[in-house]
Structure 1
């Protein structure tokens, strides 16, 4: 990418998209094309087509998606598969017809089978059954990967697909219904501390293990891959280490300064037992994560206290 290239970041207000914008601007890329949901409905193919033809985009970071935690995925399966299929299909196809130079598609590690061997290698894709609670979202992301690969083969495009592990950071979703585990716990512990609650309830047994990557690290990896990687094979993005939800809860209690009890509600499903990605391919290309979990949590909590409480 040249510094003057026109770069479209789809989903620039979200957790991942906003981090990509910060990373691009930090690296001197200021010719960015950004549109809010009100300005451009990515589910509308006509709007997307006109946008790409008018804007003469050179590069695309496809970070726009409908995302959520276990509860949202369980309650809105049709919304998750429909909206994600529409968003990615419209952008990928319009980018091809507008002759975009290169596109990076952001998937998710939920594409891997529920009981796949750990750590998750890229070749495990489509080797087993998905986790039922987020299968509609995962199927949509698998379709996006396949679409990128198919356009590369048939049309000679340069579309790459990356699979980030669980992401956290500034501009995260802290809604207790639709958020992922880390931001939900951060809000729960913060509010318990503020309200003097005697305990915090954590969904599930606390035994599942998850890997967490700071959004700024993900953005840095995306820029790195956009510059240095071409190919049909997907690339995992992660830190190569995971943590039990029980230990994550203890760490968040420490970071927030909450002194009460932690109670685990095992009536709520745990989801996938473990999700640790193999990052051998990415480290082999020359990139590693740089933000430790506790340091990252402290940064996010400081931001949360300044921004979330003001909004609410």
Structure 2
């Protein structure tokens, strides 16, 4: 019997990235689908992972040998700030149900997806894997952050007590096709893509909040997908790995906006509202551990990845996750 890889949250941004890579890289290559593999990309419609019985039924249905656990209850700043208890409890339930079911069913390998929000609010940069538990996370989303941090603790505990091969990945800012473009909830790149498209359609100015000076590291979802496949096949330690472009590949929010304007073909008025706050100036993360373990990796250039993301959104606007489609 071959390997059965179950991807929870498999229809989201990262899950779709993994599905694309598995189906489009050469068969039996480092990142492509292998002859002995069956990949299952499960959505929330198949099982509510907050419910242990539904989680167990999902595992009974597919009988996975390996799991990439991407499923989570996520939200924007407002949802986190006003729902820390709910965000914490629901994500703890999901993670505990998935990990304990993996233990019960003797799953060979589990990779869980964390977030850079697990890192302390006040910490020395660059971020690296040794700094996760050195202080409290940012107060705005401490519930979600602590739930994600706890996965790292669970991985170590299951490894120590039962010998489980449980580990995790910590991606930086992800973008790509199949993102969430809902203006109320989206992250910066999909939100700006949607906003710019609406400005173009409605012949209105494209106005961004802040100065555009903050710096961020953005990783293309299909690059990230390759890293998950690498981790699944070649990395067997409970310690997490940061998945990120290098610190030298930070881009300003202004550069992001200009690249989006170019990719969307927007020719109207483009300005920054400097009365609005910028947020954190930069929070660089180190990818030294990733590259030392994985070897060399050719990242997709930012503008190329952005062009692909915008093209996908334009072609799939009617079915994409956009929320309210009016300006």
Which of 189, 208, 211 aligns to 2:214? It is 208
Query: Which is worse superposed, 105-114 or 46-55?
Result: 46-55
Tell me the SS of whatever aligns to 2:68.
strand
Contact kept? 1:210, 1:243, Cα under 8 Å: yes
2:44 counterpart of 1:46: no
Partner residue of 2:88?
Answer: 81
Alpha-carbon distance between aligned partners in 2 of 1:172 and 1:306, rounded to the nearest angstrom? 13
Contact kept? 1:72, 1:177, Cα under 8 Å: no
Tell me the SS of whatever aligns to 1:31.
strand
Contact kept? 1:120, 1:278, Cα under 8 Å: yes
2:33 counterpart of 1:28: yes
Alpha-carbon distance between aligned partners in 1 of 2:135 and 2:282, rounded to the nearest angstrom? 15
Which of 224, 230, 242 aligns to 2:236? It is 230
Alpha-carbon distance between aligned partners in 2 of 1:52 and 1:244, rounded to the nearest angstrom? 43
Shift of 1:201: 2.9
Partner residue of 2:62?
Answer: 55
Which of 92, 111, 126 aligns to 2:118? It is 111
Cα distance, 1:149–1:287 mapped onto 2, change above 3 Å: farther
Contact kept? 1:15, 1:215, Cα under 8 Å: yes
Partner residue of 1:249?
Answer: 257
Alpha-carbon distance between aligned partners in 1 of 2:51 and 2:185, rounded to the nearest angstrom? 24
Partner residue of 2:157?
Answer: 150
Partner residue of 1:288?
Answer: 297
Q: Deviations over 1:34-85 (max 9, x none)?
A: 4332221111011112332443210000011122332332343333222221
Alpha-carbon distance between aligned partners in 2 of 1:124 and 1:195, rounded to the nearest angstrom? 46
Shift of 1:144: 1.1
In structure 1, list runs of 5 or more residues that go unmatched. none
Aligned length: 308
Contact kept? 1:109, 1:275, Cα under 8 Å: no
Alpha-carbon distance between aligned partners in 2 of 1:125 and 1:36, rounded to the nearest angstrom? 29
Contact kept? 1:238, 1:289, Cα under 8 Å: no
Partner residue of 2:203?
Answer: 196
Query: Which is worse superposed, 299-308 or 27-36?
Result: 27-36
Cα distance, 1:192–1:142 mapped onto 2, change above 3 Å: same
Alpha-carbon distance between aligned partners in 2 of 1:169 and 1:8, rounded to the nearest angstrom? 22
Contact kept? 1:239, 1:288, Cα under 8 Å: no
What CA RMSD, in Å, does the superposition of the two structures yield over aligned residues? 1.9
Contact kept? 1:68, 1:178, Cα under 8 Å: yes
2:15 counterpart of 1:7: no
Query: Which is worse superposed, 62-71 or 233-242?
Result: 62-71
In structure 2, list runs of 5 or more residues that go unmatched. 25-31
Alpha-carbon distance between aligned partners in 1 of 2:182 and 2:109, rounded to the nearest angstrom? 34
Shift of 1:289: 4.6
Detail structure 1 runs of 4+ shifted over 6 Å in the superposition: none
TM-score of the superposition, structure 1-length normalised?
Answer: 0.92
Shift of 1:251: 2.1
TM-score of the superposition, structure 2-length normalised?
Answer: 0.88
Alpha-carbon distance between aligned partners in 2 of 1:47 and 1:14, rounded to the nearest angstrom? 20
Alpha-carbon distance between aligned partners in 2 of 1:71 and 1:264, rounded to the nearest angstrom? 20
2:100 counterpart of 1:93: yes
Shift of 1:115: 3.2
